[in-house]
Amino acid sequence: MPRSRTKASDNALAAGRPAGGDARASAAHFTHFDGSGQAHMVDVGAKDVTKRVARAGGRIAMNAETLAMVRKGTAKKGDVLGVARIAAIQAAKRTSDLIPLAHPLMLTRVAVAFDDDPTGISIEVTVETHDRTGVEMEALTAVSAGLLTIYDMCKAADRAMRIGEIRLLEKTGGRSGHYRAA
């Protein structure tokens, strides 16, 4: 079966260097590919167990009438934010079932917070563990599922809702240290 590679990676390999620049940069940025370009699950067995925390956020824009229904709890499908909170928590727990190369992790905490303004709802998810790999994917997956659940529960009233701005806000722990979005 042929390998999946980009033209840029083919050109880099033909020139005798790893795709994406020097070996250190390549290893730091594309750890899910082995030396021959095949996707693989990263071996984290030699890493230390440390406390890992990740915060991610996102937003769903909606019309004022839909937002008012969510705030009042009068949406036809029920408590929109309550169900979205449970969806986000469940998604964090099931990330390795959804993201093919993510490791299954024993999460120690998943916290979900919502905020709203006149044009929509923001979600922020914090995920924690004591493990050998980070929880960024769990936080991002949780945000995505929470926002998709809000869309699902409100789509009868507002199909023009827009999901966006999903991103990692902060992460701590592990070899790469602390990251905070600008």
Q: Which residues have a catalytic role annotated?
A: 152
Is residue 12 a contact partner of residue 20, using CB atoms and an 8 Å limit? yes
Is residue 173 a contact partner of residue 52, using CB atoms and an 8 Å limit? yes
CA 38 → CA 2, 5, 34, distances in Å? 10, 9, 5
Helices then strands, counting H and E runs in the chain, come out as 6, 5
Q: What residues does 117 pair with on adjacent strands?
A: 120
Determine the Cα–Cα distance for residues 162 and 62; give it in Å rounded to an integer: 7
The pairing of beta strand 107-117 with beta strand 179-180: unpaired
Determine the Cα–Cα distance for residues 27 and 34; give it in Å rounded to an integer: 9
Give the chain's length.
182
